Structure 1
Amino acid sequence: MRKVLAASAILAVAAGSAFATNGDNMIGVTPASEAMGGLGVGMPIGSIDSIFRNPAWMNTEKGFTVSFGGILFMPDVKGRVNMGGNDSGYVSSRANFFTVPEIGITNRINDKVVVGIAAYGVSGMGVDYRDKHQNLSNMHTTLQFMRIIPAISYQINPNLSVGVGIDLAWGSLDMGAKLCTNIMNPATCWNAGGGQSSSYGIGAQIGIGYQMGNLMLGFNYQSPVSMKYKHVFDSDNNGSFEDLKLQQPQEVAVGIGYKVMPNLKVGLDLRWINWSDADGYKQFKWKDQTVIAVGGEYQVNPSLKLRAGYNYGKSPIRSYSGLDGMMPTNNIPNFARPFPDYNVQWFNLIGFPAITEHHISLGGSYQFTKNFAVDLAYVHAFEKKVESSGQYCDLSNCYPSTVGAKNAQNEVGIALRWSF
């Protein structure tokens, strides 16, 4: 299985990691879904998207469909550390352009069964502060996470369908930083990064779709996926790089869709993402998210569809004051050195600032021929700022400190789709 996953993952790492938007998860995996704010649970958006969002809706497929495309992410990320009055100000990360591909195939076997397989880059983030201000410690990170999902949908009756999928996951993590145990003595600083590390995992999902007239209802459950990235970080300067457990969390989603007119449908999805119980994210104190997505699709004519949407999820990384920098109370699996609360927040906001909340999206599709169509999407995530304050402590002193991050994003997606 590893050889299959590794070969498929080549698509996802051609140019880097995604900088995703609901925590480290993309709001959608296809341009059709992203243009509608990430919908796809409560109503069908397309058979390829359904493999990921709700496999029950694959049963809307009439024949054979193949689609491939990609998303260009253009994040504008800034970090700030004010340590004892030595203020870096907000410094821009160099990691400002990423690509993520998607490819999928679905096929109707008979009047009840549709099968499919798809590969998506679904999660990720990254920053690059190398050779920037010394307070940012040369922090550079990349997290890439891809799911390859074979799925099947079964039509129980004209109104009800169910679907299941197996999530074969591949991930890659790099955490690099120049850490110091005594900031007044540079000789005690070391390069803590162990380089890029890959891991594999497996999960599952189950979806239900119900349609009665113009009303559509959906449910989807996605299990957690446990990953272990080996030899990625030296937390205590002993020359040995430790592993990091980082579990992609479970998700529960429900949604509703309604066909207002023959050429207009609207929908609303709610997703609960359980960061607070996922290994790694839990120890870094990420909060659970309830994500709301609303969107609509209007068929202008037989060839042209227009889409729009909105997506909101409160940042899983929150602002704090009075963070302790002395007591190492947070055991990060499997780091040798526990982290004080301030250090945890420093890693969150400088290394993994997944803090965007509000997103608007636009897009559409054009049917060039009976068999060929193109889907387009544009998403803008409004700038979000999170700052926390407390103490940074080295071996001899503690310093009043503030750490902060700003994050805004733009993305453009395109997919080519053939149906037969």
Structure 2
Amino acid sequence: MTKLPARSILAISITLALSSTVQAAGFALIENSASGMGNAFAGAAAVAEDASTTWFNPAGMAELGDGSHLSTAGHVIVPQAKFTDKGSWVNPALTGGNIDQAQAALTGKNDDGGKPAFVPNSYAVKRLNEKMTVGVGINAPFGLETNYDDDWIGRYNALDSAMQTININPSVAYEINEQLTFGGGVSLQYITVELGSAIDSAAACRSIAGAANSGDLLLSCLRAMPTLSNQATDSKVVISGDDVSFSYNLGAMYKPTPQTKIGVSYRAATNHELEGKADYTVNAALQPILTATGVTRFNDVDVKAEANLPDSLSLSVAHKVNDKLELLGDVTQTGWSSFERLRVTDKNTGAIVTNVDEKWEDVTRFSVGANYQYNDRVKLRGGLAIDKTPVPNAHLLTPRTPDTDRTWLAVGANYKLNKTSSLDVGYAHLFMDQTPIDNTSEDNGYAIRGVYDSSVDIISAQFNMSF
């Protein structure tokens, strides 16, 4: 236990509170409009029905017409990520390499890290003249949150994980002609991170006594903390940090016919340099050993880490079959290979705190959907999406981000309140594969082995106004 247990200072939680099982690949958040939710975000870069197009494709702002347009949405996310243990263990080095003893020594219960959460976003668009339209969006493009009980079996790998991102994105659209429009914008993004983990005080004490080659200290450890993995004597660490960074996005909208719109949208990577602290709460039985040996690795320290959030590229199509039916499709690639390694260092000395291979992979999301104009006031929506996880295998999966493949099934509706305002509602259920995890922490050698059984329900609502 010579390193801070900071397994995932990058892979963490959401903006204003989210869930343990993220709603798009990795820890990206796609829940940025309720109108899109009803279609599982099929055609998101081409539909351009309301001001939320500011986020999905800034070129789509020109499709909204004259005047000003506002959209405000909220999403209630109810995740489930139930873990069942199948042979987790303490570091086998602490039991003389005896695997059976290592498994028996790790005590704790199964747990569900998922917690309900609320995610808001807002957008405003205004046409300046016949060629130019401007807009701004405020939302949360990345995040996740996992909260486990203090006595769960994987507490030495992760307890609480929380990350919030708030993104402010002004943008502009310029119409070349009736068929072609280009758009672009700049993002100001704030990220804040907080990670908690338990520390096995008994194991730490034995490690310190062994490093000091002191039989007396070892006896003191065994008397004060005779049992490994005893939640009653655990210590804890919370690592926190934040940063502000900039990025950009580009988009284009092409209409080959009056019935068909093709949208392309690119959002560049955002590279954060987080700075913060590692705050320790040391158990009273361990503190005398630390004082006697002069060990300082459980002292509070300043830390820093990079968070390279991925770029994405979307191609969407929206085609009106007739006055009633519109068909939608979307392909989005996210560059999760940017999350190759997690490196955390002491801000003052530059010493490596943790340096872990992640080796995530780029992924592609596919979605199809349809809108049906039921009558003058009501439009019905539906959609299906296939969303693959960027985590390559069970060995790289962590309890902070128990990510897995998911299939979206979504429905929704738009209701016109009057000539200038409307209400969107959407619901999606995310079906997820049962996910094995077999992860050994490079920070402390503890292995979390088992299965996650996950699913997510999302309810969204959005108010739209034009004036």
TM category (shorter chain) comes to 0.7 to 0.9
Which of 406, 417, 420 lines up with 2:464 in the alignment?
A: 417
Shift of 1:405: 2.9
Question: Are 2:38 and 1:35 aligned?
Answer: yes
| Aligned twin of 2:247 | 203
Which segment drifts farther, 400-409 or 202-211? 400-409
Corresponding residue for 1:405?
A: 452
Of the candidates 365, 374, 392, which is equivalent to residue 414 of structure 2? 365
Q: CA RMSD in A?
A: 2.8
Q: Please give the residue correspondences for 1:238-257 in structure 2 after superposition, counting only pairs within 5 Å.
A: 239-257=300-318
1:174 matches 2:194? yes
TM-score under structure 1 length normalisation = 0.82
Displacement after TM superposition at 1:280 (Å) = 5.2
User: Match for 1:111: what amino acid?
Assistant: E
CA distance in 2, matches of 1:61, 1:111: 12
Verify: 1:374 aligned to 2:423, yes or no: yes
Q: What runs of 5+ residues in structure 1 fail to find an aligned partner?
A: 1-11, 324-344
What are the within-5 Å matches in structure 2 for residues 136-155 of structure 1?
Answer: 136-137=155-156, 139-155=159-175
The whole-number CA distance in structure 1 between the counterparts of 2:117 and 2:443 is 36
Distance 1:316 1:390, change over 3 A: closer
Residue 126 of structure 2 aligns with which residue?
A: 107
Cα deviation 1:267-299 (Å, max 9, x = unaligned): 111111111124657942222111112111111
Instruction: Give 2:208's aligned residue.
Output: none
Counterpart in 1 of 2:75? 71
1:388 corresponds to which residue? 437
Structure 1 residues 311 and 21 mapped into 2: Cα distance closer, same or farther (>3 Å)? same
**One-letter code of the match for 2:452?**
A
SS in 2 for 1:51: helix
1:15-414 mapped onto 2 (5 Å cutoff)? 15-17=16-18, 19-63=22-66, 64-81=68-85, 82-83=88-89, 84=103, 90-93=110-113, 95-137=114-156, 139-180=159-200, 182=203, 185=228, 190-195=235-240, 197-213=241-257, 214-233=259-278, 237=298, 239-278=300-339, 283-320=357-394, 345=396, 348-389=397-438, 402-414=449-461
Letter in 2 for 1:387: P
Confirm or deny: 8 A CA contact 1:383 1:408 kept in the other structure.
yes
TM-fit CA distance, 1:227: 1.6
CA contact (8 A) 1:246 1:280 kept: no
Shift of 1:129: 0.9
Judged with a 3 Å threshold, the aligned counterparts in structure 2 of structure 1 residues 200 and 279 are, in CA distance, closer, same or farther, namely farther
**1:98 Cα deviation after fit:** 0.7
Distance across 1 between alignment mates of 2:360 and 2:199: 23
Q: Which has the larger radius of gyration?
A: 2
Deviations 1:226-246 (A, max 9, x none): 123322547964542522321
Unaligned runs of 5+ in 2: 1-13, 90-102, 205-226, 281-296, 343-355
Deviations for 1:308-334, whole angstroms, at most 9, x for unmatched residues? 1112121112434xx5xxxxxxxxxxx
Distance (whole Å) between structure 2 residues aligned to residue 110 and residue 171 of structure 1: 35
Please say if residues 160 and 196 of structure 2, whose CA atoms lie closer than 8 Å, have aligned partners that are also in contact. yes
TM-score (norm 2): 0.74
CA contact (8 A) 2:385 2:409 kept: yes
Q: Distance in 2 between matches of 1:186 and 1:132?
A: 10
Q: Alignment partner of 1:287: what SS?
A: coil
Code of the residue aligned with 1:35 in structure 2: it is: G
**CA 1:400–1:223: 2 relative to 1, 3 Å:** closer
SS of 2:239 mapped into structure 1 = coil
Structure-2 change in CA distance of 1:110 and 1:153 (3 Å): same
Q: Which moved more, 1:378-387 or 1:299-308?
A: 378-387
Residue-pair matches, total = 379
Give the Cα separation in 1 of the matches to 2:244 and 2:61: 26
The alpha carbon displacement at 1:164 in A equals: 0.3
